[in-house]
Amino acid sequence: MPRYRLTLEYDGTDFVGWQRQATGRSIQQQLEEAIARFAGGPVSVIAAGRTDAGVHATGQVVHVDLQKPLPPFRVMEATNFHLKPEPIAVLAAVEVPDSFHARFDAVERRYRYRILNRRPPPVLARNRVWHVQHALAVPAMQEAASLLEGRHDFTSFRAALCQAKSPVKTLTRLTVREAADGPEGEEVWVEATAPSFLHHQVRNLVGTLVEVGLGRWQPTRMTSILAARNRSAAGQTAPAAGLTFLAVRYPGEEG
């Protein structure tokens, strides 16, 4: 059975998340049903990461096995045709060895969280940002973020329902900066890179960094939050709408 690697973009606003659920519409369900319409039977799609309800993606990677070989371009085109009008698109498709696994072979995942930092509410960026009206001190947030990089026990940033075997993760990079485009200081980006993440880890990190940006907490508080190993020690869980799964890297690929 030929295996294909697909790169996806999607708007997660109206979905229960990536994974199939007993009720509600999921990205996985819509994609599997679209592929099945031209593949001649049911298929199972495996993703690099399971995004939550309301979370978006510009570089999600999945793999799928088909009953018969098809040109990758045709797989992409046919899938996109049958996905209409869902806000999901296949950006690229390549045939890969059957040893390739979208989830287990990934060596790095990258997320971006967008914060709209202005008084007026979002219009064009609605369902894409967290609207924080009060001014954020980006340098203080970056100072705090630097203390969270590296290998730590991230229990304080872990969701109660997280199924990971261990709370110890390596946060390769955590940066806070003003957006590269748009009015100066209006949008703040928090970008996180790691081999893997705990459930809600990025959103909990962002919620904590915003406390620093608002001047409520000092950057050095991150050290004690990590040491507490208690979810109540950290900040709130940032809304899902601001989070986007940017990219996945595999062995031999550049970062």
Residues marked active site are found at 52
Cα angle: 204, vertex 206, 208; to 5 degrees:
70
Report the alpha-carbon distance of residue 135 to residue 207 in Å, rounded: 15
Report the alpha-carbon distance of residue 212 to residue 205 in Å, rounded: 11
Residues, the chain = 255
Beta bridge partners, 114, equal: 189
249 phi and psi angles, rounded to 5 deg: -120, 140
Residues 42, 45, 50, 51, CA torsion sign: negative
